[in-house]
Amino acid sequence: MNKKLYKLMDWAKIEEIIYSECDNPGTLLGPHKSGNNTLIQAYFPGATDVKVRWTAQEGSKDKKITQMEIADDDGYFAVLIPEKGVTDYKYLVKYDSNESFEKGDPYRHSRILKDTDFKKFREGKLLNAGDIFGSHIMEYEGETGVSFIVWAPGAMRVSVVGEFNEWDGRINQMTRVNSDYFEIFIPGDLAGMKYQYEIKLKGDKVFKKNDPYSNILKDGISVVCAADDFKWSDKTFFNKKRNIKDMIIYELSDGYFSCDPKKLKKEIAALINNIKDNGYTYVMLNPSDKADPYGGGCGYFYITGQATGSSAALKQLVDSLHEAGIRVIFDWMPAGFSLEESGLKFFDGTSLYGHLDPKQGLSADGKRGLFQYGRGEVKSFLLSSGLRLIEEFHADGISIAGVAQMLYLDYGKRYGEWVPNMYGNNENLEAIDFIKEFIAQAKKINSNALIMAEDSSTHKNITAGGDEGIGFDIKWNEGFLSEYFDYISHDPIERGEQLSELTDELVYSFAEKFVIPLSDGLLLNNRGVLDLFPGNEAQRLSTLRLSLAFAYMHPGYKLISQEFDDSCKSLLAELNELYLNEPALCDRNDDQDSFEWLSNMNREQSCISFIRKTDDPEEMLIAAVNFSGIEQSFTTGVPYEGKYKELINTDDASYGGTGIVNAQVKRAIDKQSDGRAQSITVKLAPLSVSIMKFVPYTETELAKVIEERIRRNTPIKKSGKKPASK
């Protein structure tokens, strides 16, 4: 190396780069003014020869090639270009194979992250963090490449490693910005390549992390994704005011789509046909399914193309559903993060996203990290994650999972295992503020956005607004799930004595705006739907049909998992049609006056009956339910004289039942039952439901009923005399 060049070298800093301990490699690497010359330094571990092909700055378009000198045998090269301000250049790099590679220089570029961005990020107000952090293919200062930005204040050094640099953390060391952030722009075509962040701590501990802002994972590793140019065609439908009265949600199971682009169009068409044929009006899906094998859906927050194979494919799915008049709800879980080593756990060696104290930072089972919702950077990360589902993917609604764990500091924990808030109680005030902020921001993007709470808590005012309320539009009635399925798991012989388990739940069914979620969440440990019920296969199928009909007659909007639909498709199609066409069901889900018990204490028969109604008697429906394992004749009081016509019976042969139905219209008779003057008696197969509709008498029928009553209640004495002859 010539003396002039040797004197310009900062050997201590060079050693930092070679030992991959540098958090500002751009102070050495890349182009730097040196008098009337340009000093260019580069580090290519293992390279045997490096040249610079550069363009002169004095208006010449000619490319010049200058040999770089080796400053360190480990692969550190330098050259003094006899012209100042040289920035347009490429490296020609040779390794032992003697093959030459053209490479751009990440260190010739200026800073990417703007002061306004990191300020908003720290304050929890950067609502498009996913557009800035993570990896983004872009054109920058005359070169095409990928920008990488990551938040890691606790790291000594961060490098981007991937398929493009042999996973070598020495090559693409990132530049620290504003003490807490690292960035780099890597020139080249990296689309579709896997990458991670290699983080080095003091003490030489080195580990790799996936990008928290990953859009796609391949083999559990982050992938560089190109932005799509998808053109939406749903503007009119997306902005149309929603009507949740007709809301019947079809929940897709994880793995519904094959992720094969050649099959996706047919899969979408088949899904839409199934939904429309069977009467569903909403779809709920998890856009990140298959992405998180460790944490039950809470490890990655920007994965939005995993379910369909790409983000563009997901947008096509949503756009196609909207074209068919079907709204889309995305499942989202900001309640915690999974603890696999490549995830958010101790991301930069510190409890960056969570709490250091396990009493605050771990779930009760120790399997999930809990977010520090009061930290601005975490708020920006999470808010941006959820809001982009509405803004970028046109979600009509967001279903927030794990709300109870967010609301309570002691969720699932015992005394001494949690830390009270500033007022000494168990509410997570920071999480509540975060939820309210998310709902407010979501409504700003789309006032029609439906925000649902998957909440098992008894916290008050979940669906109420104002200072006292949380502000959700609707809440999952997990109390119904818990109590109903506890009840139905009893042997039919025992159900009469346990009847209060079933009926007590109705006491709070109008405390919030509820949806009845017959969801995949019920199916634990790979158990199927039928495994939830006792008995042989035929009895379990009967119980499933009973459960579905009972849920549809129960107050609350409906959510049906794909697996329930697969088991009872024809019955569910008719229940959906009934629900959508009967105002007593779809119009009055939030009105306590729409429900009334007829019989709820018949422990001997294990039978119940109740009414769903509006202000119009002709819209009244009656449900009679037999929870026992034997066929019965069940007498129930009815509110009006008239006829009661069976609309659906879950034992109908067309649904797979035995055919014990009430084909004839039932006329109310003057026999007291359940405190009513009139009653009807219906046949009920074992484990079945009969849904009947009130039909008033016609004037002719009414006159006949009155005449019969008069004759029955007015005795006429027989004289024994023959009538006089004419």
Q: Tell me the pLDDT tens digit for each residue of 218-253.
A: 998 999 998 888 999 999 998 888 888 999 999 988
**Residue bearing the bigger pLDDT, 599 or 1:** 599
- What percent of the chain clears pLDDT 90, i.e. is strictly above it? 74
Tell me the pLDDT band of 291, cut-offs 50, 70 and 90. low
**Structural tokens at position 578:** 């009934």
Say which amino acid occupies 436. Answer: K
Q: Tell me the pLDDT tens digit for each residue of 41-74.
A: 999 999 999 999 998 876 666 789 999 999 999 9
Q: Tell me the pLDDT tens digit for each residue of 542-573.
A: 999 999 999 999 999 999 998 888 889 999 99
Q: List beta partners, residue 148.
A: 135, 184
* Cα 245 from Cα 252, distance rounded (Å): 21
DSSP state of 361: H
Check residue 656 and give its pLDDT.
Answer: 95
Q: Tell me the pLDDT tens digit for each residue of 335-363.
A: 999 898 999 999 999 999 999 999 999 99
Residue 403 has pLDDT above 70, yes or no: yes
Residue 482 has pLDDT above 90, yes or no: no
Find the range with the poorest average confidence among 119-123, 365-369, 520-524: 520-524
CA 400 to each of CA 246, 329, 403, 644: distance values in angstroms, whole numbers, following the listed order:
21, 10, 7, 41
Check residue 2 and give its pLDDT.
Answer: 83
Mean pLDDT to the nearest integer, 152-160? 97
* Cα 92 from Cα 511, distance rounded (Å): 71
* Mean pLDDT, the chain, integer: 91
Tell me the pLDDT band of 292, cut-offs 50, 70 and 90. low
Mean pLDDT to the nearest integer, 672-687? 96
Topology of the domain comprising 115-223: Immunoglobulin-like (2.60.40)
Say whether 638 sits in a helix, a strand or coil.
strand
Residue 280 has pLDDT above 70, yes or no: yes
Residue 327 has pLDDT above 80, yes or no: yes
Check residue 523 and give its pLDDT.
Answer: 60
DSSP state of 669: B
Tell me the pLDDT band of 721, cut-offs 50, 70 and 90. low
Topology of the domain comprising 593-711: Immunoglobulin-like (2.60.40)
Residue 293 has pLDDT above 50, yes or no: no
Beta-carbon contacts of 274 under 8 Å, excluding residues fewer than 6 positions away, are none
Q: Tell me the pLDDT tens digit for each residue of 695-704.
A: 999 888 888 8
277, containing H or E segment:
helix 261-278
* Cα 631 from Cα 88, distance rounded (Å): 87
Q: Tell me the pLDDT tens digit for each residue of 483-505.
A: 898 999 999 999 999 998 888 88
Check residue 570 and give its pLDDT.
Answer: 95
pTM over 0.75: yes
Identify whether the C-beta of residue 287 lies closer than 8 Å to the C-beta of residue 198: no
Residue 294 has pLDDT above 50, yes or no: no
Check residue 297 and give its pLDDT.
Answer: 46
**Structural tokens at position 249:** 């949600």
Residue 469 has pLDDT above 70, yes or no: yes
Check residue 702 and give its pLDDT.
Answer: 86
Check residue 258 and give its pLDDT.
Answer: 87
Mean pLDDT to the nearest integer, 361-385? 96
Topology of the domain comprising 3-104: Immunoglobulin-like (2.60.40)
Say which amino acid occupies 543. Answer: T
Q: Tell me the pLDDT tens digit for each residue of 162-180.
A: 999 999 999 999 999 999 9
Identify whether the C-beta of residue 361 lies closer than 8 Å to the C-beta of residue 369: yes
- What percent of the chain clears pLDDT 70, i.e. is strictly above it? 95
707, containing H or E segment:
helix 699-713
Q: Where are the domains of the chain?
A: 3-104, 115-223, 593-711
Q: Tell me the pLDDT tens digit for each residue of 86-119.
A: 999 999 999 987 788 999 999 999 999 888 999 9
Check residue 699 and give its pLDDT.
Answer: 87
Tell me whether domains 3-104 and 115-223 share a fold: yes
* Cα 145 from Cα 193, distance rounded (Å): 12
Q: What angle do CA 66, 69, 72 make, to 5 degrees?
A: 150
Check residue 580 and give its pLDDT.
Answer: 96
Residue 520 has pLDDT above 70, yes or no: no
Identify whether the C-beta of residue 572 lies closer than 8 Å to the C-beta of residue 547: no
Check residue 716 and give its pLDDT.
Answer: 67
Mean pLDDT to the nearest integer, 674-688? 96
Tell me the pLDDT band of 634, cut-offs 50, 70 and 90. very high
Check residue 712 and give its pLDDT.
Answer: 78
Say which amino acid occupies 82. Answer: P
Check residue 648 and give its pLDDT.
Answer: 98
